[in-house]
A and B are shown apart, each in its own frame.
Chain A
């Protein structure tokens, strides 16, 4: 995995301090992404997945560690290198309602990256290019003169994707791109991302809490818990036989199709059984998941388990992982 040079995250730690406590939202994480990766970062809220996404596009500065793009640190080095990084790695945010300036129309919104990242363009050329971008995300040119509040959530998210495409990026980072949308709009957005990745030979990383979304879009899944990567494996392997107990819990909570739910009787029954207490994972020594884990053993209290290779192109951080085929 290490020979990949596209994006390398090395020993990344992001610390948030407040009056009450200090939390490592990302705790010594190392990953590397290939240009054509389709990856999903999965975890519940507070797992650090959004912070990781923000680091990957340079919006949050690491407390320690580094993020390398083509081998160069994205926060240091020459201006031209950083500009190339901006062009190559683009982002789509969670909240399409907040991602647009209410006072700017769609044309202004789409032109920004064209003007500032791509370079000099005449007025008409800019307009044509924006219309082209709208077309590539399945929208009509007549939206150009509209304002954000005149668009539906799904349309806004499409426009946001269109803007991310303006600089012809090689990689997209999408932070919960569908969590604010209803099912049909969400399916449209995810299909669009998949299609764009095919057409433009582009990779993406989707941050989501929903294993359903992850399995639909990604080839690799990275499961995070309390700032740590706990499992990282190919999608098929992970959903058929998760190794980390937490991954298996996430899979149990993933939405299933209506038919399956009624057949298996999971609709209308308690899917989780009794109510686990909420614990502050950062207050625990050793493995931060051990209080919620039904497979915890004494060694789990000693230290956070290291992220070790599973042998089959994957890594898992657990002292007592589920064995193959066991759920």
Chain B
């Protein structure tokens, strides 16, 4: 339960990512502004296609042309947007690492676990093979893999074990920030909980900062200090995880929470959010959620919603916020 330091590790200012398409420019991330405190776990939530993954990739400058990234990314005093290819190579993995969605299925099938992790270490540092393998042995203990898994191949491991290998690779060089993109989505609930426990333990020990991307609010509620709910490339609501999830102000957040199917919903009717998010091509400046929102008025459809705050860190962008202060 660490509530981070006072220092801002990562700051995004007006981050915008666009992709050209046949029908016009697709705005995947739309003037996103947020900051992450050192030592905290920051959750990024939203439906698939809302730009969460794109944001993670943009942070590492991994959006490939024809995608275009604009805005500022400040990380630990460095301007990432003006880094050169060589600087970026050193910066990726060493300072910011990423656990990719589906990374566990992209492990090299013909390499043992040990050499796989060692290769990743050597690719991004000046370590010798020997030093790298020494670190690998340490890491395997840290992620609770049995020692004999060092010489195993990916197909001999279970899904959960593979994800441990991926986590070991991500923490190998002690990065300041770890971006975890849906790290548990492909796992069954039992392995999911185990991997979450591991991630929490690893984070606590290494004091790293984490950007945790997921659509699963219960996973996020178990991991994060702060959470931002994204909708169509911009933030709908943001704040401390307990404030946002227990007393959501934005109707979208509220709908997301109540569409969660959980054990205690038997016999009740769980409502899904009606409709689908539109493709973000030349959207008008209004509330993005207005066409799916049951509380939407003309105001919502025609102008950009104001920021509504509740307490210091809890912000929602909405004309008709729900349950203000309800949780207090």
Using a CB–CB cutoff of 8 Å, the interface residues on chain A facing chain B are: 20, 44-46, 152-155, 178, 181-188, 190-191, 209-213, 215-216, 235-236, 239, 249-251, 253-262, 266-268, 270-272, 275, 277-278
Contacts and interface: CB of A to CB of B under 8 A. Distances in A.
A253 B189 contact: yes
A181 B47 CA distance: 9
22 contacts: A44-B188, A45-B158, A45-B187, A152-B48, A155-B276, A182-B215, A183-B259, A183-B260, A183-B261, A184-B256, A184-B272, A187-B259, A187-B260, A187-B270, A216-B265, A249-B190, A254-B189, A255-B189, A256-B262, A260-B262, A260-B264, A272-B197
B263 interface: yes
Given A44-B188, A188-B272, A211-B189, A254 B262 contact: yes
Q: For the side of the interface on B, what is the size category?
A: 35 or more
Interface in B184-210: 187-194, 197-198, 200
B324 interface: no
Interface in B239-294: 242, 245-246, 255-257, 259-266, 269-273, 276
B146 interface: yes
Nearest to B159: A45
Contacts of B156: 20
B323 interface: no
B269 A191 contact: yes
Contacts, number: 146
B159 A270 contact: no
Contacts of A253: 189-190, 192-193
Interface stretch (B170-178, B216-224, B296-304, B311-319): B216-224
Interface of B: 1, 47-49, 144, 146, 156, 158-161, 187-194, 197-198, 200, 215-218, 221-223, 242, 245-246, 255-257, 259-266, 269-273, 276
B193 A272 contact: yes
Contacts of B215: 182-183
Contact of A255 (B1, B218, B272): B218
Given A182-B47, A253-B193, A272-B197, 7 more contacts: A153-B48, A182-B215, A255-B260, A256-B263, A262-B245, A268-B223, A270-B197
A257 B260 contact: yes
A204 B95 CA distance: 49
Contact of B261 (A190, A236, A262, A266): A190
B246 A262 contact: yes
Contacts of A275: 144, 194, 197-198
Interface-centre pick from B49, B194, B218 (highest chain A CB count, 10 A): B218
Nearest to B158: A278
Contacts of A250: 189-190
Nearest to A155: B276
B193 A271 contact: yes
B263 A255 contact: yes
A184 B271 CA distance: 8
A255 B273 CA distance: 19
Contacts of B146: 277-278
Contact of B217 (A20, A178, A183, A211): A183
Contact of A261 (B47, B218, B261, B271): B218
A184 B262 contact: no
A21 B220 CA distance: 38
Contacts of A239: 263, 266
Nearest to B182: A182
A254 to B, nearest CB: 4
Contacts of A257: 260, 262, 264-265
Contacts of A277: 146
A251 B263 contact: yes
A13 B246 CA distance: 48
Contacts of A152: 48-49, 276
Contacts of A271: 193, 197, 222
Nearest to B186: A179
A211 B263 CA distance: 7
B189 A187 contact: no
Contacts of A183: 215-217, 256, 259-261
Contacts of B273: 184
B222 A267 contact: yes
